[in-house]
Amino acid sequence: MSAYGLIGLSLDHSFSPAFFRQFFIERGLSNHSYSSIEIKDGEELKRFFSTSISQYSGLNVTLPYKEAVMPFLHQLDPIAQSIAAVNVIKVGTGLQLKGYNTDGPAFLDTLKEWDLPEMGFALVLGNGGASKAVQWALNQMDYTYSIVNRGVSKETIEYAHLQKRLVEKASLIINTTPLGMYPKVKECPPFPFDGINSTHKVYDLIYNPEKTLFLQLAEAKGARIKNGHEMLEKQALLSWKIWQQAE
Ligand code: NAP
């Protein structure tokens, strides 16, 4: 029996358990299981790593534990190190735990079909975990970018100070905030949509709803749009690849 699972909080509507259960059925992997592992706080996380980790061959990690799991791991893949967040754990021989990040590579892969200009400029809305994965991908593409976020900070621009000329300069705009995610589908980052036109590619990492208000407003201005579903599938498939790799 090979057991896999997703560590996180409020996992009722998570994508990975349903995805992997179907994945195992389609491949006839009847001796594989995938469970939701609801963890309510840091104490419970610690207990999980000391008492339950031996039951698993691999794990996915979601909010709010992508950083919190790092002290429990023995090794970090260089991409996870660079993004400073882990969404995949491989449980190796002797319970050696190695952490990976597949969000960054998955996002990068989904950009291929968009035929983006080389060494362009992007705007990244939000500066949390997913934003760090997106920033890693933009660095791989030799893109420059500005980060737009609420609140005042040296490294980010406030929404209210985002100028139209910066929006016009961007080839790619990515929403990495949870604004607009089900059930709060009427929410949207306070973005100046006036600067958007048909040359823009606008990406929202949210996958539920399929078309967030942010994507609807960008599409109405002529932009090409993409939601987070493809990235989600790709990061899951990359997790599987990691778990199958020989040590
Ligand atoms: P996170 O670490 O909590 O970061 C969220 C970011 O959004 C933070 O920068 C936060 O601002 C900003 N934000 C939150 N509420 C806001 C508000 N009301 N107004 C303005 N900004 C706000 O979360 P995350 O892990 O990055 O995830 C963010 C989203 O990406 C979620 O919807 C998640 O489902 C999605 N995601 C999708 C995929 C995929 O495969 N498609 C993968 C990963 C994540 P502060 O910095 O000020 O707190």
Same domain for 126 and 42: no
Residue 247 confidence (pLDDT): 77
112 is catalytic: no
Same domain for 7 and 92: yes
Q: How far is the CA of 13 from the centre of ligand 1 (A)?
A: 17
Residue 13 confidence (pLDDT): 85
Q: Of 101, 136, 159, which marks where a domain is finished?
A: 101
Instruction: Go through the chain and tell me how many residues it has.
Output: 247
Q: How far is the CA of 176 from the centre of ligand 1 (A)?
A: 5
Residue 152 confidence (pLDDT): 87
Q: Could you give phi then psi for residue 184, rounded to 5 degrees?
A: -90, 60
Q: Of 101, 117, 133, which marks where a domain is finished?
A: 101
Ligand 1 in contact with 206 (CB < 6 A)?
Answer: yes
Asked if residue 12 is part of any domain, the answer here is yes
Ligand 1 in contact with 102 (CB < 6 A)?
Answer: no
Domain of 117, in residue numbers: 104-229
Same domain for 136 and 40: no
Residue 39 confidence (pLDDT): 98
Same domain for 160 and 96: no
Q: How far is the CA of 73 from the centre of ligand 1 (A)?
A: 24
Ligand 1 in contact with 181 (CB < 6 A)?
Answer: yes
- Residues facing 5 on adjacent strands: 35, 59
User: pLDDT 10s per residue in the chain (247 long)?
Assistant: 899 999 999 999 899 999 999 999 999 999 999 999 999 999 999 999 999 999 999 999 999 999 999 999 999 999 999 999 999 999 999 999 999 999 999 999 999 989 899 999 999 999 999 999 999 999 999 999 999 999 889 999 999 999 999 999 999 999 999 999 999 999 999 999 999 999 999 999 999 999 999 999 999 999 999 999 999 999 999 999 999 998 7
Tokens representing residue 87 in the block: 């969404």
Same domain for 217 and 108: yes
Residue 68 confidence (pLDDT): 97
| CATH number of the domain encompassing residue 182 | 3.40.50.720
